[in-house]
Amino acid sequence: MSSTIATERRRQTGVVVEQVVRRFGDRVVLDHLDLTLADEELVILLGPSGCGKSTLLRLLAGLDRPDGGRVEVPARRAIVFQADRLLPWQRVLRNVTLGLHGPDAEQRALDVLAEVGLSGREKAWPKELSGGEAQRVSLARALVSEPELVLLDEPFAALDAITRLRMHDLVRALRTKHHAAMLLVTHDVDEAIALADRIVVMSNGRIDTSHEVRLSAVDREASVAREELRARLLADLGLAGQH
Ligand SMILES: Nc1ncnc2c1ncn2[C@@H]1O[C@H](COP(=O)(O)OP(=O)(O)OP(=O)(O)O)[C@@H](O)[C@H]1O
């Protein structure tokens, strides 16, 4: 495999990461990592702290470049971070329309704010929002440009448990509507099981496909299957016996 740098963009959705290497000084954080995402697939990326999950998302977002390997991503991408990163001096609506062009930009922003349950809050300032509302604005901002790929870096980690469950329902609803592929990083095994089409685990700078899990609605609803999967994922993360 050659290690030429070739970050390609293409029209289709879906993602191909092939033999990607990223180093920081002497430290190899991504070590010939492979990952693909199919069109409209929701993949959850689990992995211990510091293993390189955010580094991979930043590469896919185009915020960083690999030292080797190949990254193919769709042209329209959006990223949602753990902290909302809203502009505090702009109202909610303007935070969503930023970077949008065209006469229908405002209407599109209002529509997507309605989808995330924030109709009527468009004139609020970010500081007036709860953590859950601010993250819903972040989701609206990500989705308003109709991305083919949405990257979510621990988007709900700072929220309380009930708000987090509501956000899971919202993500499921938004997926049906927007048809984007999604790659979501989390430390929360239950969040992974609740949302994923496929769960992948990263360790030692790679994703080991022998540990990946595909989930059907049936697996998700059958409590025995869910408990087995939970135990297995915790073991993969080196957290066996913890809850
Ligand atoms: N710009 C940078 N310069 C130097 N080192 C970096 C840089 N970005 C990331 N690293 C290092 O790369 C490693 C992986 O970081 P990364 O943030 O990708 O991990 P992570 O899996 O997302 O961790 P966490 O789950 O704790 O958020 C860390 O050791 C980090 O210090």
In tens, the pLDDT along 84-107 reads 899 999 999 999 999 898 899 999
pLDDT at 239: 67
Rounded to whole angstroms, how far apart are CA atoms 157 and 186? 7
Beta-bridged to residue 77, according to DSSP, are 149
- The pairing of beta strand 27-37 with beta strand 15-24: antiparallel
pLDDT at 12: 53
Centre of ligand 1 to C-alpha 52, Å, is 5
- Taking CA 221 as the corner, what is the angle to CA 182 and CA 206, rounded to the nearest 5 degrees? 40
Atom number of ligand 1 nearest to Cα 51: 21
pLDDT at 4: 37
pLDDT at 10: 44
Domain architecture of the chain: domains with CATH = 88-145 (1.20.1580.10)
Structure tokens at 48: 């211990």
| pTM score of the predicted model | 0.89
Q: Is 203 helix (H, G, I), strand (E, B) or coil?
A: strand
Question: What residues have CB less than 8 Å from 20, skipping those under 6 apart?
Answer: 30, 32, 33, 34, 56, 59, 66, 68, 69, 70, 71
| Mutation choice for ligand 1 from 21, 26, 49, 54, CB with most ligand atoms inside 8 A | 54
In tens, the pLDDT along 197-207 reads 999 999 989 99
Structure tokens at 36: 């693909």
- What is the CB < 6 Å shell around ligand 1? 24, 29, 47, 49-55
- How many contiguous H segments (helices) and E segments (strands) does the chain have? 8, 11
Centre of ligand 1 to C-alpha 153, Å, is 12
Centre of ligand 1 to C-alpha 50, Å, is 5
DSSP letter string, 14-75: -EEEEEEEEEETTEEEEEEEEEEE-TT-EEEEE--TTSSHHHHHHHHHTSS--SEEEEEEES
Chain centroid to CA 57: 8
pLDDT at 210: 83
How far lies 96's CA from each of 23, 26, 147, in Å?
A: 34, 40, 14
Centre of ligand 1 to C-alpha 24, Å, is 9
pLDDT at 240: 56
DSSP structure class, residue 82: S
Cβ proximity of 98 and 87 under 8 Å = yes
Residues of the chain with pLDDT below 70 are: 1-13, 239-243
| Mutation choice for ligand 1 from 45, 49, 55, 207, CB with most ligand atoms inside 8 A | 55
In the numeric block, the tokens 């959850």 are attached to: 44
Atom number of ligand 1 nearest to Cα 25: 4
